[in-house]
């Protein structure tokens, strides 16, 4: 049983490693062979997730307010995240890059005879919005934050210049040269605490780093846990990582050392807003106050990505992992991944997102009223909300535990 299950995981890892699958290599058929049987070692790892610990990590991130990029509160948050990762036994590194606010382009007047609006409306990412929609946007008004302490904490504006972001790595025991990347963005904005966007995803990635770094955990393949900066300004931190490191993939350095500073990418999973799925706005524009019992974890790939076939296979792998390892909420798969740090990866490696809602047609239609607002506070959310994030953590941990070949070693 065990060997069989590991064989399946290995073959899917190989599928995901293909960089240019031809029609004959479409991995969709492999998805049909996903095992419905949990892997005991992975079940053990998932059992090490804990709602109170997950909440405590989100709470820890909110001490730095909205963690806006280019500020001291953002740099302090990077330092704090790095200290936590090290305390888990996950060795850290930093990526440095420069962020300068782009010059605003003056908008051109519409040309006569330009393309008519599409017959079918489309949200960002390509999905079709339906039902009741409410306006969304980014709050830039400090006076909308009634908590004076938090308003003062968030007061420093962003300054252009050098940036840093942190990641840590669990090195694979038999395939150190192959790697899954698990990501979330640690910066936020809107004059709140960025508790959900994206403290919830950052805490999820940190919790997985903690569990995979436990001394009795071994993985055959490498896993990197990345906390991107500058997501809210246009995915700049993740884009800098891709630009600086994509050509280093799979190179042993120094030669003969067995060390791979940038293992070959097998897949990338981004986590962005994990807590809140109360449903569509009601006719009066209000949102139901409770997590809906049919809340779900939305796993999205992008149908226009060059690595779409592998990304789709990876998304369905998470769907299957959710059914085996997640305690409360199901997963749904959709084809309209957009607007987060998986985008710079999606043409190079199978890349997907995990979220509370679909980014385009749900969040873009106002399903999350805290999004980029002063009320994105730790105190806004109930345990039913936090539990959706925990279920997302169970889902990714289950999938990556299998794909990376996790086992428990007796010490």
The sign one gets for the Cα dihedral 349, 352, 353, 354 is negative
Residue 165 in contact with Zn ion, rule: CB under 5 A: no
Q: Least distance to Zn ion from the beta carbon of 340, Å?
A: 6
How many chain residues bind Zn ion (CB under 5 A)? 3
Among residue numbers 233 through 292, which ones bind Zn ion (CB under 5 A)?
A: 272
Q: Between residues 13 and 194, which has the closer beta carbon with respect to Zn ion? A: 194
Q: Between residues 197 and 356, which has the closer beta carbon with respect to Zn ion? A: 197
- What secondary structure does DSSP assign to 188-217, as a single string? --SSS--IIIIIHHHHHHHHHHHHHTSTTE
Among residue numbers 181 through 200, which ones bind Zn ion (CB under 5 A)?
A: 197-198
Q: Between residues 198 and 207, which has the closer beta carbon with respect to Zn ion? A: 198
User: CA angle, 24 as apex, 263 and 306 as ends, to 5°?
Assistant: 50
Q: SS3 of 401, please?
A: helix
Q: Between residues 272 and 277, which has the closer beta carbon with respect to Zn ion? A: 272
Cα 273 to Cα 389: distance, rounded to the nearest angstrom? 8
Rounded to 5 degrees, φ, ψ at 121 are -65, 145
- What secondary structure does DSSP assign to 77-140, as a single string? HHHHHHHHHHHTT--EEEEEEEE-PPPPPPPPPPPTTPPPPPSS---TTS----S---------
Closest listed residue to residue 154, CA positions, set 82, 74, 231: 74
Which residues does 390 contact at the CB level (< 8 Å), separation at least 6? 49, 51, 54, 327
Q: Between residues 197 and 207, which has the closer beta carbon with respect to Zn ion? A: 197
Q: Between residues 12 and 351, which has the closer beta carbon with respect to Zn ion? A: 351
Q: Least distance to Zn ion from the beta carbon of 139, Å?
A: 14
Q: Between residues 332 and 339, which has the closer beta carbon with respect to Zn ion? A: 339
Q: Least distance to Zn ion from the beta carbon of 368, Å?
A: 10
CB 391 within 8 A of CB 384: no
Query: What's the DSSP call for residue 106?
Result: P
Query: What's the DSSP call for residue 344?
Result: G
Q: Between residues 198 and 385, which has the closer beta carbon with respect to Zn ion? A: 198
Q: Between residues 232 and 262, which has the closer beta carbon with respect to Zn ion? A: 232
Q: How far is CA 405 from the centre of its chain?
A: 21
Q: Between residues 82 and 198, which has the closer beta carbon with respect to Zn ion? A: 198
Q: Least distance to Zn ion from the beta carbon of 406, Å?
A: 28
Query: What's the DSSP call for residue 314?
Result: H
Q: Least distance to Zn ion from the beta carbon of 187, Å?
A: 9
Q: Least distance to Zn ion from the beta carbon of 71, Å?
A: 17
Two tokens at 63?
């001490």
Q: Least distance to Zn ion from the beta carbon of 239, Å?
A: 15
How many angstroms separate the Cα of 288 from the Cα of each of 60, 360, 367, 372, 387?
Answer: 28, 20, 10, 19, 17
Q: Least distance to Zn ion from the beta carbon of 383, Å?
A: 22
- What is the phi-psi region of residue 245: left when phi exceeds 0, alpha when psi lies from -120 to 50, beta otherwise? alpha
Output 252-255 pairs: Cβ under 8 A, ≥24 positions apart.
252/177
Q: Least distance to Zn ion from the beta carbon of 231, Å?
A: 6
Q: Least distance to Zn ion from the beta carbon of 228, Å?
A: 10
Site residues, Zn ion (CB under 5 A): 197-198, 272
């Amino acid at each position: 049983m065990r060997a069989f299950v590991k064989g399946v995981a290995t073959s899917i890892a190989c599928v995901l490693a293909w960089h240019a699958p031809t029609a004959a290599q479409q991995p969709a058929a492999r998805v049909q062979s996903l095992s419905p049987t949990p892997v005991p070692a992975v079940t053990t790892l998932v059992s090490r997730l804990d709602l109170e610990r997950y909440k405590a990590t989100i709470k820890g991130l909110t001490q730095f307010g909205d963690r806006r990029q280019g500020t001291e509160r953002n740099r302090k948050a990077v330092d704090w995240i790095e200290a936590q990762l090290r305390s888990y036994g996950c060795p850290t590194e930093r990526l440095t890059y420069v962020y300068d606010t782009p010059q605003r382009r003056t908008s051109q007047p519409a040309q006569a005879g330009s393309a008519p609006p599409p017959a079918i409306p489309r949200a960002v990412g390509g999905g079709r919005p339906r039902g009741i929609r409410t306006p969304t946007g980014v709050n830039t008004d400090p006076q909308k934050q009634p908590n004076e302490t938090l308003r003062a904490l968030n007061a420093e504006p962003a300054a252009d210049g050098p940036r840093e972001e942190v990641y840590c790595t669990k090195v694979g025991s038999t395939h150190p040269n192959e790697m899954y990347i698990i990501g979330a963005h640690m910066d936020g904005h809107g004059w709140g605490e960025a508790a959900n966007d994206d403290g919830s995803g950052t805490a999820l990635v940190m919790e997985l780093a903690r569990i995979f770094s436990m001394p009795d955990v071994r993985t055959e393949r490498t896993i990197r846990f990345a906390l991107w900066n500058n997501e809210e300004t246009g995915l700049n931190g993740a884009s800098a990582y891709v630009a600086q490191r994509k050509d280093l993939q799979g190179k042993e350095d120094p030669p003969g050392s067995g060390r791979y500073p940038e293992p070959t990418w097998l897949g990338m999973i981004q986590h962005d807003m994990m807590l809140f799925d109360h449903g569509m706005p009601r006719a009066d524009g209000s949102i139901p106050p409770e997590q809906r019992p049919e809340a779900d974890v939305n796993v999205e790939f992008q149908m226009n990505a060059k690595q779409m076939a592998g990304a789709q296979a990876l998304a369905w792998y998470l769907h299957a992992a959710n059914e085996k390892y997640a305690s409360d909420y199901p997963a749904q798969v959709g084809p309209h991944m957009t607007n987060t740090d998986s985008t710079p990866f999606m043409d190079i490696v199978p890349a997907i997102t995990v979220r509370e809602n679909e980014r385009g047609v749900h969040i873009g239609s106002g399903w999350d009223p805290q999004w980029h607002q002063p009320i994105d506070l730790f105190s806004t959310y109930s345990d039913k909300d936090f539990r959706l994030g925990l279920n997302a953590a169970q889902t990714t941990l289950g999938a990556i535990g299998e794909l990376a070949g996790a086992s428990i070693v007796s010490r």
